[in-house]
Amino acid sequence: MSLRTAKIISLLVTIAGAIVLLQGATFSWLGNQQGYEPVQPIAFSHKVHAGDNQIQCLYCHSAAEKSKVAGIPAASTCMNCHSQIRKDSPEIQKITQALADNKPIEWVRVHHLPDHARFDHSRHVSAGLKCQQCHGAIETMERVSQFETLSMGMCVTCHRTHREVTLDENGKPVISREATPKRLMASTDCSVCHH
Amino acid sequence: MSGEKLWKKFQQQDADDAPQLIQLESARMPRAGVSRRTFIEMIGFSAAALTFTSCRAPEQKIIPYLKQPVEFTPGVASWFASTCGGCSAGCGVLVKVRDGRPIKIEGNPEHPLNAGGLCAVAHGMVFGLYDSDRVRQPLIASKPATWADVDRQIIDILAATQKTGEKVRVLTGTITSPTSREAIAKFLSQFKDGKHVVYEAVSTAAIREAHARTYKTPAIPQYRFDKAKLVVSFGADFLGTWIAPTQFTRGYSTARDLREGSHEMSRHVQFESLMSLTGSNADARVRVSPSEEIDALLLLAKLVSSEGTAAVAAVDDSRISSRVREAVQQTANELLKLHGESLVISGSNDIDAQCVVNAINQALGNYGKTLDLNATSQQNEGADQEMVELVREMNAGEVGGLIVSGVNPAYDYYASEDFSNALAKVPLKISLNPTRDETSALVDFICPQHHFLEAWDDAQPVRGVISLNQPTIAPLFQTRAYQESLLRWSGDGRPFYDVLRQSWKEKLFTQQKTHATFDEFWDHSLQDGFAVLQTQSSEQPSFVADQMGKSVERLGARSADHASKLTALLYEKIGLRDGTHANNPWLHELPDPISKITWDNYACVSPKLAEKFELEEGTIVRISNSETTIELPAHIQPGQHDDCVAIALGYGRTSAGKAGTGIGVNAYPLVRFDNGTFQYQATGIKLEKTAARVQLASTQLHQTLGGRPLIKEFTLDDYLKKHTAGEYPKESKSIWKDYQYGEHKWAMVVDLNVCVGCSACILSCQAENNVPVVGKDEVRRQREMHWIRLDRYTLGSDDNTTVEYQPVMCNQCDNASCESVCPVLATVHSSEGLNMQVYNRCVGTRYCENNCPYKVRRFNWFENQHADPISNLALNPDVTVRSRGVMEKCTFCVQRIEEAKIHARNEGRNIRDGEIQTACQQSCPAHAITFGDLVDADSRVGKLKHDERDYILLEEVNLRPQISYLAKVRNTEEVEA
């Protein structure tokens, strides 16, 4: 085997492997999972619930306005409606079964921040941000896909532009203690997210 | 030069070898095609390329509840009021539960005993819950079994015992819970001769016995350090380990707090032989030999009992040295001026000594004022005589069944071998201990009990204050409440919760008038964590002096006998205490506040004694008496008396678990049983030097201040004459521009006057901030990771040693020297005055650590172990777990700041002063730490910054830190330096 042949074989193996592994929906670069759309154990459709039926996001993700996490609804929350509606659907049957077996449903996490980054849903929801700003048009998604990059650049860009503060003649922000609670103050201190 | 030569040598060698290498290589090389080397390179490239293309974050699962619990939000911590089970002091705690697991214990600020303070041991209890060495299911003859099997077999054997009428004994530690005691009583009532024996390894039984003799009240009185203007202690380490240290520290520092305009502080005189935490805080510490301590006590009794008894008047005070005599005389004069406002205590477990202490307090009119015999303490209720009697009965084969719960006499009984041998003669041996300790190893059945964070219980540490203990997590393992086990074996199958509720309904509900219905009473008590009941205040019982003569006589004889003999004094360390929690690495790595040594016990000797025996720090010494010999390293302790060697108990466990087995040497064999109680000293010991020497794992190698004003100290007189420590903020020039703080500027003030050095802050910080444990070897290399360093300085001469403490954490400087040297901006200044440490940016140059004058930065030299999935449950999910090569340090608990900010903003308000409490501040039993916002004009911290005692550590380097200290004040005539 000549060197040339070896090089060609090596290249072909690499390309073939890449084609196998780079499967659109499941592929994502390390650290940035934009477009990540994993298959979930139950074919839950946000389009049907949040889009067609106009159920409020906070009905299921009730922790979003008081906690760091938005929370995935408990199986019992699903049954609030589904004990009456579409009881016979095979997907709903999975939930009924889970409750019967006392075995929780293992959803696949779509949006994931690294362990050294902290994000608090409650602050953003209370400040009036729409869920769609970070999560995209979730009410149109049959299966949830990651809309934003969720990178530090994305967070910081928003934090920089959403500082509703007046500037003094030197261009420095004028911040007074009395005024702050009413204002949307997005800090860019590292420790706001990293601690 | 040598480097150049070395390189030349290598180059020369390489040049010489080159042709030869090529020749060798070509001989092996195939003539055509691809060499093996190239082929491997190609394959390697392919593999690497494939690996990269297939790189993606691992799939993660989110598992929500099946049924959402009411009032529970994922990601939001719930707090439950409960009672600490670390020792018998029964402090009220608040347990922080995040997503179903308790991760932090804090003091309950409303609890009448500890008022928000906690000790180091209590903080370590969270780690104890997640101890993977706990017994996970019941064991029969060391083999896993089911509860049903265990119950069946035990009930059968017990039924047989009932018929034979043999003795059945339940051996426990102090149980202050009235309901649990009832359960034990109910179990024992089925037998003809059943008895509950309470055993404490480090006992204070003498106090109860002495009160039984002198007041006909067998109880430990309630000590009111907050009401005492003068505390005189004979060797009692009441701030560190004695009975209920957190509660006492709270009272003590309340009486000594000079903040916010107070000009009065109590005075504290300590007579002691070893250097204790309490002694180191005394305004006047009198170094005495163990025999002199007795003499001094007797002399004081003689001097204060003017009307006193004839017995005391006959005290022979000829042996006492003039220095000590003068000190006792002065103390007596002071005491006599403060009728009913002083407190005299002794740490001795000798009944005679405690009788004399009672006589002194009686003469000074302290009963009913600073000592309360109505609301008596039930803490540390060991009955030494009964324990010895039990071992005798067992040895005689009279005991048919022994049930051990929460104690470990096979390790900590003074004659542990006798106990083990006697235990072998008991037909039915059951251990309800949670771990497979030395005692459990000898029994037939191990029926593991819950950790207190998993269990229901109540506690009545002091009469009238009854606390509730509620579970904060479902049991991790197949364990069962010990009360439930006992009830089940007496035919009562109810869960202990039902028993507890019923008992409260029947007994306690009727004793209160605040709540109309029981449910309301129960819910309120559960929410508060405690209920205060009306106790009938009766007259303080009258003093009975009839046995005083004999006591004084015996004490005099003992002192004469012990005079100038070398005595081993056995004491408890702040972290490990009696050794029950020896499998807790947090407690092992907590530096002892006095010696600064971790992971070991050692023989403390005075510098003079060390000189006499030619001992160096770490020299192994052999200590022997007629019964036993132990070998352990020596530690040279300034301030200790030359006639004694001090050795910590609680070490040398042989079966504690991963962290605790084989650490240190067991000193319990030196304990004696004498005159009805355990004596924690051994007189007439022999000390020998051996050739061996070890390096002790000490976190502070320097003793002195080196002439620098790191700690400022005044006498009370000087302070009242308006001497100031410094000014804040001091105007000085700087090459840096000043920061403009808009919204917040976080700052801290540490009052060195009330700080006693108890080290609870260190462990509270460790629990809050996921600070790793590094082990003995790494501590020896000065690589401990604690974010708070409690500096200890020793001043003065042999006879007049004073100790100063100073907690030092990151000072959050404005002109931070760390920030200017970080090449990757991993440590930067926040808009709120914090020096942020961004772990994910840090590349580990350690420039910041080298440039920090306070030396408060810690470097992760290794990937600290997080392999144990159970102990990982103790991690705080709000704080990043740092990896190898990353610098870390105190950030004023920035996670708490951020959480409070979010909370306040969500509610559209400003942060209230005192709303944010750092972990160290929250748990401080002395309330020495104040944290707050300097932008808030009314904040407490801002006011304290203008206190005359306020000063900045290393002010001369002009770093403008946010932490300042309030100078220490000693209530004494002059400060010795």
Going from the C-alpha of B219 to that of each of B201, B721, B924, the distances in angstroms are 18, 44, 29
Give CA–CA dist B349/B517, Å, rounded: 45
Same domain assignment for residues A112 and A191: no
Q: Which of B42, B834, B906 sits opposite A122 (nearest CB)?
A: B906
CB–CB of A76 and B65 under 8 A? yes
Q: Tokens 């101890």, residue?
A: B131
Alpha carbon distance B267, B808 (integer Å): 26
A20 and A56 assigned to the same domain:
yes
Cα–Cα distance measured from residue B320 to residue B330, given in angstroms and rounded to the nearest whole number: 15
Same domain for A191 and A121, yes or no, is no
Chain B nearest-CA residue for A107 = B62
- What are the tokens at B906? 């969500």
In the sheet that holds B193-198, the strands lie side by side as B143-144, B139-140, B445-446, B428-431, B399-405, B167-172, B193-198
Instruction: For residue B33, name the pLDDT band (cuts at 50, 70, 90).
Output: low
End-to-end Cα distance, chain A: 56
**CB within 8 Å: B895 and A195:** yes
Clarify whether residues A129 and A172 are in a common domain: no
User: How much is the pLDDT for B17?
Assistant: 47
pLDDT, average across residues B620-629 = 92
Residues A193, A115: one domain?
no
| Pair of tokens at residue B359 | 């006589």
The top-level CATH class assigned to B713-730+744-970 is alpha beta
The upper half-sphere exposure of residue B836, i.e. CA atoms within 13 Å in the direction of its Cβ, equals 24
Amino acid at residue number B462: V
Which residue on chain A is closest to B770 by alpha carbon? A195
A103 contacts in chain B (CB < 8 Å): 66
Q: Does B61 lie at the interface with A, CB-CB under 8 angstroms?
A: yes
What's the N-to-C CA distance of chain B in angstroms? Answer: 50
Residues of chain B with CATH 3.40.228.10: 205-377
- Identify from B43, B62, B67 which residue to disrupt to test chain A contact, counting A C-beta atoms within 10 A and taking the largest count: B62
CA distance to partner chain B, nearest, from residue A53 (Å):
23
The DSSP bridge pattern shows strands B167-172 and A173-174 to be unpaired
Instruction: Please check the confidence at residue A20 and state whether its pLDDT lies above 80.
Output: no
pLDDT at B24: 41
Total residue count of chain B as it appears in this document:
977
Report the alpha-carbon distance of residue B293 to residue B961 in Å, rounded: 45
Q: Does any domain span residue A41?
A: yes
Q: Token digits for A173?
A: 């922000």
In terms of CA atoms, which chain B residue is nearest residue A80?
A: B67
The token pair that represents B439 in the structure block: 């005692």
Alpha carbons B121 and A116: distance in angstroms, whole number: 30
For the domain B139-202+382-532, what is the CATH code? 3.40.50.740
Q: Taking residues B752-778, what's their average pLDDT?
A: 93
Using the Cβ of B912 and the Cβ atoms of chain A, whether some distance falls under 8 Å is answered with: no
Give the type of residue at B785: M
Residue B20 pLDDT greater than 70, yes or no: no
B 26-45 residues with CB < 8 A to A: 32-34, 38-39, 42-43, 45
Q: Does B47 touch chain A (CB under 8 A)?
A: no
Q: Domain total for chain A?
A: 2
Q: How confident is the model at residue B724 (pLDDT cuts 50, 70, 90)?
A: low
Q: Average the pLDDT over B55-82 and give the result.
A: 85
Share above pLDDT 90 across residues of chain B, in percent, rounded to a whole number? 61
pLDDT tens by residue, B930-960: 999 998 888 999 999 988 888 999 888 888 8
Kindly state whether residues A128 and A139 are assigned to the same domain: yes
**Nearest-CB residue to B61 (from A17, A68, A106):** A106
Strand order, beta sheet including B686-693: B681-683, B567-571, B644-648, B603-605, B629-636, B619-624, B686-693
Alpha helices in B145-266 (DSSP H): 147-164, 178-188, 205-215, 245-256
B835 touches chain A (CB under 8 A): no
Mutation target among B39, B53, B939 for the A interface, most CBs of A within 10 A: B53
Among B225-239, B251-265, B268-282, B590-604, the least confident range:
B251-265
Indicate left, alpha or beta for B406 from its phi (over 0: left) and psi (-120 to 50: alpha). Answer: left
Q: Verify that A27 and A116 share a domain, yes or no.
A: yes
pLDDT tens-digit series, residues A88-113: 999 999 999 999 999 999 999 999 88
The confidence band for A23, taking pLDDT boundaries of 50, 70 and 90, is low
Shared domain for A68 and A145, answered yes or no, is yes
Which residues have a Cβ under 8 Å from the Cβ of A48 and sit 6 or more positions away?
A: none
Residues A25 and A47 in one domain: yes
Average pLDDT, chain B: 87
Write the residue in A5, A76, A105 that is nearest to B67 by C-beta.
A76
- Radius of gyration for chain A, computed over Cα atoms and rounded to the nearest angstrom: 23
Task: Identify whether A98 is part of a domain.
Answer: no
* Model confidence at A172: pLDDT above 60: no
B234-263 tens-digit pLDDT: 999 999 999 999 999 999 999 999 888 888
**pLDDT score at B788:** 94
Q: pLDDT band for B373, please (50, 70, 90 cuts).
A: confident
A16 within some domain: yes
Chain A touched by B742 (CB under 8 Å) = yes
The reply to whether A132 falls in a domain is yes
SS3 (DSSP) at B614: coil
Cβ(B569)–Cβ(B681) below 8 Å:
yes
CATH number of B582-698: 2.40.40.20
What lies within 8 Å, CB to CB, of A131 at 6+ separation is A57, A64, A125, A138
Option in B42, B743, B840 nearest A175 (CB): B743
Cα distance between residue A36 and residue A111, in whole Å:
9
Is residue B652 left, alpha or beta, with left meaning phi > 0 and alpha meaning psi from -120 to 50?
Answer: left
Kindly write down the DSSP assignment for every residue of B519-581, as one continuous string: HHHHHHHHHHSEEEPPPP--PPPPP--TTHHHHHHHHHHHHHHHTTS-EEEEE-BTTTBTSTT
Sheet hosting strand B230-234, strand order edge to edge: B284-287, B267-272, B230-234, B342-346
Express each pLDDT in B512-523 by its tens digit: 888 899 999 999
- The pLDDT, as a whole number, for residue B26 is 42
Residues facing B363 on adjacent strands: none
Alpha carbon distance B175, B756 (integer Å): 29
Q: Is B474 on the interface with A (CB under 8 A)?
A: no
Report pLDDT for B50.
Answer: 59
pLDDT of B164 strictly over 90: no
Contact call for residues B128 and B116 (beta carbons, < 8 A): no
Locate A107 and state its tokens.
Answer: 């959803």
Give yes or no: residues A63 and A126 share one domain: yes
Both structure tokens of A41:
């154990």
The reported pLDDT for the residue numbered B665 is: 94
Question: How does DSSP classify residue B880?
Answer: P
Whole domain around residue A189: which residue ranges? 151-195
Given a contact cutoff of 8 angstroms between Cβ atoms, the answer to whether B798 and B814 are in contact is no
Of A3, A98, A181, the CB nearest to B904: A181
- Rounded to the nearest 5°, which phi and psi values hold at B20? -60, -45
Cα of B299 to nearest chain A Cα, Å: 59
- How confident is the model over B526-548, as pLDDT tens digits? 999 999 887 766 777 888 888 88
A152-166, B302-316, B658-672 — most confident range: B658-672
**pLDDT of amino acid B8:** 40
Residue B63 near chain A (CB below 8 Å): yes
pLDDT of residue B13: 44
* CA-based nearest distance B854→chain A, Å: 21
In terms of CA atoms, which chain B residue is nearest residue A96?
A: B66
Residue A128 forms part of a structural domain? yes
What is the structure's pLDDT at A164?
Answer: 56
| Whole-angstrom distance, CA of residue B691 vs CA of residue B712 | 42
pLDDT surpasses 50 at B909: yes
Average pLDDT on B52-63 reads 72
Tell me if A17 and B836 make a contact (CB, 8 A cut-off).
no
The nearest alpha carbon in chain B to A75 belongs to: B66
Residue A49 lies in a domain: yes
- Residues belonging to chain A: 195
Using H for helix, E for strand and C for coil, what is the string for B427-439?
A: CEEEECCCECCCC
Which residues on A lie below 8 Å from B830 (Cβ)? 189-191
Whether A72 sits inside 8 A of B62 (CB atoms) is yes
| Tokens, residue B14 | 């390489």
Sequence-ordered alpha helix ranges (H) in B176-321: 178-188, 205-215, 245-256, 277-281, 290-304, 310-313
Query: ∠B872-B876-B877 over CA atoms, to 5°?
Result: 95
B66/A175 CB distance under 8 A: no
Q: Which residues of B touch A126 (CB under 8 A)?
A: 905-906
Per CB-CB distance under 8 Å, the chain A contacts of B33 are 1-3
Q: Do B53 and A18 touch (CB under 8 A)?
A: yes
Judging contacts by C-beta atoms under 8 Å, the chain A residues touching residue B906 are: 66, 122-123, 126
Nearest chain A residue to B58 by CA distance is: A30
Residue B540's Cβ-side half-sphere holds a number of Cα atoms within 13 Å equal to: 19
Question: Are A113 and A140 in the same domain?
Answer: yes
Nearest CB to B57 within list A30, A77, A176: A30
Residues of chain B with CATH 2.40.40.20: 582-698
CB of B735 less than 8 A from some CB of A: no
Average pLDDT over every residue of B168-175: 93
Contacts of B42 in chain A (CB under 8 A): 6-7, 9-10
pLDDT of B479 > 60? The answer is yes
In chain B, ranges of CATH 3.30.70.20 domains: 713-730+744-970
Residue A156 in any domain: the answer is: yes
B729 cis-preceded (ω within 30 degrees of 0): yes
| pLDDT tier, B975 (very low <50, low <70, confident <90, very high otherwise) | very low
Evaluate whether ipTM surpasses 0.90. no
pLDDT digits (tens, 9 = 90+) for B547-559: 888 888 888 888 8
Q: Are residues A141 and A169 in the same domain?
A: no
pLDDT tens-digit readout, B776-810: 999 999 999 999 999 998 888 777 888 899 999 99
By the 8 A CB rule, do B90 and B176 touch? yes
Q: Rounded to the nearest 10 degrees, how much is the dihedral formed by the CA atoms of B66, B71, B72, B77?
A: -170
Query: Which residues lie closer than 8 Å to B44 by C-beta, 6 or more apart?
Result: none
Residue A3 placed within a domain:
no
Residue B974 has pLDDT above 60, yes or no: no
Encoding tokens for residue B415?
């004659």
pLDDT on residue B25: 41
Confidence of residue B963 (pLDDT cuts 50, 70, 90): very high
Which residues neighbour B335 within 8 Å (Cβ) at sequence distance 6 or greater? B230, B232, B300, B304, B342, B344, B364
What letter would DSSP give residue B130? T
Inter-chain CB proximity B906 and A123 less than 8 Å: yes
Interface size, chain A vs chain B, as Cβ–Cβ contacts under 8 Å: 194
| Inter-chain touch B45–A10, beta carbons under 8 Å | yes
Q: How confident is the model at residue B107, as a pLDDT?
A: 93
A74 with B64: Cβ contact below 8 A: yes
A15 CA: distance to closest CA in chain B (Å): 9
Which residue intervals of chain B bear CATH 3.40.50.740?
139-202+382-532
The answer as to CATH 3.90.78.10 being correct for domain B205-377 is: no
Closest Cβ opposite residue B57 in set A14, A112, A180: A112
* CA distances in angstroms from B802 to B137, B236, B287, B606, B946, listed in the order given: 51, 17, 11, 14, 28
Closest CA to B388 of B678, B668, B680, B667: B678
Which residue from B42, B66, B76 is facing A66, i.e. has the nearest CB?
Answer: B76
Confidence category of residue B119, pLDDT binned at 50, 70, 90 = very high
